[in-house]
Amino acid sequence: MTRSTVVLAGIEDVERLAEMQATCFDEPWGSASIAKTLSLPGAFAMVLRDTTPAGRISAGFAIVQVVTDQADLLTLGVVPGLRRRGYGKRLLAAALAEATKRGAKLVFLEVAENNLGGVALYRRAGFETMGRREGYYRDREGRRVAAVTMRREI
């Protein structure tokens, strides 16, 4: 199995981020939107990069924005063939560590209510549910899906 390490992504990684995001979510953001997100103040992406000479970005990504002492976990995904191997947990831990370095003390996120894997990952990482946003997401069939809002002190 190829070993990988979690590192900060650069603007040159936007195409690969967009590819991975589209395999993970019903609503593709596209590379332009990801580039725009990464240009927001305090925004950064963490990716799993193979520890081979080519250093390919393989398994997954997390995008976070830190504003003052609060962080928003904007998205996190692991490509379908590589799930349940601990990559999501590693990405989340690395993203929270980087957010802490940048001054965050509290992190917020939204996750689709019917996303049992995502909700389980966040609960297990110590996030607590704050509330619910009706119709926040749209699935592949165009149906509206509620989001659960969660928070964690870091």
Ligand X SMILES: CC(C)(COP(=O)(O)OP(=O)(O)OC[C@H]1O[C@@H](n2cnc3c(N)ncnc32)[C@H](O)[C@@H]1OP(=O)(O)O)[C@@H](O)C(=O)NCCC(=O)NCCS
> How many whole angstroms separate alpha carbon 125 and alpha carbon 120?
9
Per DSSP, the three-state class of 113 is coil
Per the DSSP assignment, residues forming a β-bridge with 138 are 144
From residue 126, alpha-carbon distances to 36, 45, 93 in Å are 30, 21, 11
Q: How far is the CB of 60 from ligand X (least distance, A)?
A: 6
Select from 4-12, 36-44, 83-91, 93-101 the region that touches ligand X (CB under 6 A): 83-91
Strand order in the sheet with 43-50: 4-8, 43-50, 57-67, 70-78, 106-112, 144-153, 128-138
Query: CB-wise, 66 or 88, nearer to ligand X?
Result: 88
Q: Which stretch binds ligand X (CB under 6 A): 11-19, 27-35, 48-56, 119-127?
A: 119-127
CB of 93 to ligand X, least distance (A): 9
Using the rule CB under 6 A, is 87 a contact of ligand X?
yes
Q: Per CB under 6 A, which region of 2-10, 46-54, 78-86, 133-141 contacts ligand X?
A: 78-86
Backbone conformation region of residue 47, classed left if phi is above 0, alpha if psi is from -120 to 50, else beta: beta
- The answer to whether 77 contacts ligand X (rule: CB under 6 A) is yes
What are the residues binding ligand X (CB under 6 A)? 24-25, 75-78, 83-89, 111, 115-118, 120-121, 124
